[in-house]
Amino acid sequence: MERPASLRRSILVWLLLATAAIGVLALVDTRIEALRTAREVSDRVLTGSAMAIAEAVSVDATGSLAVTIPYSSLDMLSSTAQDQVFYRVDGPQGLLTGYDDLPQAGNTGEIALADGSYRDRPVRIATILRELTTGEGTLPFTVTVAETTRARDALARSILTRSALRIAGLILGAAIVAWTAATYALRPLDRLSRSLVGRSAHDLTPIETPAPAELRPVLDALNGFLARLSQAMAALQNFASNANHQIRTPLTVARTQVAMAGKPTGPTGPLDKADQALVRIERVLEQILILARIEATGAAPVLRPVDVAALARSVTADLLPKAVSLRRDLGYDGPDRAVALSEEVLLGELLRNLVDNAITHCPADTMVTVQVSLAPGEVWLTVTDTGPRLPDPAFGQLRDRIAPDRTRGEVRTRTRGLGLHIVAEIAHALQAEIALDRGETGRGLVWTVRLAAAS
């Protein structure tokens, strides 16, 4: 299943993407500015070195140019990047001193600067054109100083690195602010989620929780839906109540008329069969109405102390005539009193369904035992029969009928009644645990209902 998108994560991702895009543009601009700044700083120093050398050029006694390279002119170019420095001084007759293959930056003006390459290394070149005046005229000369670009590149990288760190810190700070702001802004939505999670499945009252203006339309729409759903559930409950009266009353009248019509000579006459059919219809209707009440209202019953032993004896006595007519041996085994937290009517219906299911679907001469036993903090209500062993698929289907959120199978192997469905719903409503096992010899079934003992 695809993981749902997170609004908080989406806000954070988009903000980070936008901030990162702005940061990349800022880094590009910073890189251009860093290179320009490093070049200007380097050019100033390089020009100063060339001017210092030019100041050391003089005219000797013969009227020729003489130059003594001052150490200070080259020392100002020394750096931690260990750049190499090259120079040359040219007079009217050619090279005076320095590297004769060092290219010049050009002689278009008094000071010329250019990037170049010397001995397979990138260099920055500065060339100065000067003149010295003698009694015989002027002597032009050029001073060229070149320096490798390690220091300049290191300065640009340093500026760029510091800018990148500042931008990264800005992005991180923006992410923290965005996450905090999104968490704070989505707090009403979290409150609404907790309010919905904490509700019971059948709580259809309007949701009353503080909400910002952006969330108010959603909350109003949800409350409107709950109001319509509440009306539908109320109509369903009214239908169940009306159906109970409108359908059971004609069935009771029909049974009365059948009884008054007299009985035929045999127990399987038409009127007797009609009476049995009416009894079955009335029982199914009663089961449907009970199930509709439990599922429609969804209200948890109030659990009170109930004498489970007395209730079990009463249900056993009520169903004993039916068991005798079907040639089943029905009996009770247990203490005189066992009090548990439950609801007497629903628990009686649960037990009645289990016992009726056993005496109806087991063969003749089967023993059905209703047993109540005490355990620490619990009261166990057990219905055991000695019927034949069920095949594994049929046994699994029975367990499916009482397992929540699973596909329900058939009741035993011959019918699709509502009994076990109602048993499972009632057990859930009473907060009881219900289990199904085979008998000790592998034959028959053992239904066990565990109830919390009343303190």
Higher model confidence: residue 447 or residue 76?
Answer: 447
**Maximal C-alpha separation, the chain:** 165
d(CA 365, CA 359): 10
d(CA 59, CA 67): 8
| Whole-number pLDDT of residue 307 | 95
| Whole-number pLDDT of residue 376 | 92
- The least confident of 1-15, 60-74, 323-337 is 1-15
pLDDT band at 340 (very low <50, low <70, confident <90, very high): very high
Higher model confidence: residue 363 or residue 70?
Answer: 363
d(CA 246, CA 34): 92
Q: What's the whole-number mean pLDDT along residues 84-99?
A: 87
pLDDT band at 439 (very low <50, low <70, confident <90, very high): confident
pLDDT band at 269 (very low <50, low <70, confident <90, very high): low
pLDDT band at 410 (very low <50, low <70, confident <90, very high): very low
As a whole-number percent, the residues of the chain with pLDDT over 90 amount to: 17
What residue spans define the domains of the chain?
7-161, 201-299, 302-452
Residue where the block lists tokens 């100083």: 145
Whether pLDDT at 299 is above 50: yes
How would you write the chain as a 3-class SS string? CCCCCCHHHHHHHHHHHHHHHHHHHHHHHHHHHHHHHHHHHHHHHHHHHHHHHHHCEEECCCCCEEECCCHHHHHCCCCCCCCCEEEEEEECCEEEEECCCCCCCCCCCCEEEEEEEECCEEEEEEEEEEEEEECCEEEEEEEEEEEECHHHHHHHHHHHHHHHHHHHHHHHHHHHHHHHHHHHHCHHHHHHHHHHHCCCCCCCCCCCCCCCCCCHHHHHHHHHHHHHHHHHHHHHHHHHHHHHHHHHHHHHHHHHHHHHCCCCCCCCCHHHHHHHHHHHHHHHHHHHHHHHHHHHHCCCCCCEEEEHHHHHHHHHHHHHHHHHHCCCEEEEECCCCCEEEECHHHHHHHHHHHHHHHHHHCCCCCEEEEEEEEECCEEEEEEEECCCCCCHHHHHHHHHHHCCCCCCCCECCCECCCHHHHHHHHHHHCCCEEEEEECCCCCCEEEEEEEEECC
- The least confident of 60-69, 245-254, 379-388 is 245-254
Higher model confidence: residue 274 or residue 29?
Answer: 29
pLDDT band at 290 (very low <50, low <70, confident <90, very high): low
Q: What's the whole-number mean pLDDT along residues 251-269?
A: 64
- Tokens describing residue 303: 């659990």
Handedness of CA 288, 293, 297, 301 (dihedral sign): negative
| Whole-number pLDDT of residue 265 | 45
d(CA 40, CA 337): 103
| Whole-number pLDDT of residue 232 | 77
Which among 185, 179, 173 has a CA at the least distance from the CA of 19? 173
| Whole-number pLDDT of residue 2 | 58
d(CA 131, CA 125): 20
pLDDT band at 14 (very low <50, low <70, confident <90, very high): confident
Q: What's the whole-number mean pLDDT along residues 160-183?
A: 84
| Whole-number pLDDT of residue 190 | 78
Q: How far out from the chain centre does Cα 137 lie?
A: 91
Whether pLDDT at 283 is above 70: no
d(CA 16, CA 171): 7
| Whole-number pLDDT of residue 337 | 93
Q: What angle do CA 260, 257, 417 make, to 5 degrees?
A: 120
d(CA 84, CA 326): 115
Q: What's the whole-number mean pLDDT along residues 55-84?
A: 74
| Whole-number pLDDT of residue 408 | 38
Residue where the block lists tokens 């047993």: 371
d(CA 446, CA 392): 15
CATH for 302-452, options being 3.40.190.80, 3.40.50.2000, 3.30.565.10, 3.40.50.10470: 3.30.565.10
If 0-12 CB within 10 Å is exposed, 13-18 middle and 19+ buried, where does residue 312 land? buried
Q: Of the spans 95-99, 216-220, 260-264, 417-421, which averages the highest pLDDT?
A: 95-99
Tens digit of pLDDT for each residue in 143-155?
A: 898 888 887 888 8
- The least confident of 2-6, 27-31, 343-347 is 2-6
pLDDT band at 203 (very low <50, low <70, confident <90, very high): confident
Mean pLDDT of the chain: 80
Q: What's the whole-number mean pLDDT along residues 201-222?
A: 78
| Whole-number pLDDT of residue 76 | 63
pLDDT band at 407 (very low <50, low <70, confident <90, very high): very low
Tens digit of pLDDT for each residue in 213-238?
A: 777 888 888 888 888 888 877 776 66
Tens digit of pLDDT for each residue in 94-142?
A: 888 888 888 888 766 678 888 888 888 888 888 988 888 776 778 888 8
Whether pLDDT at 406 is above 50: no
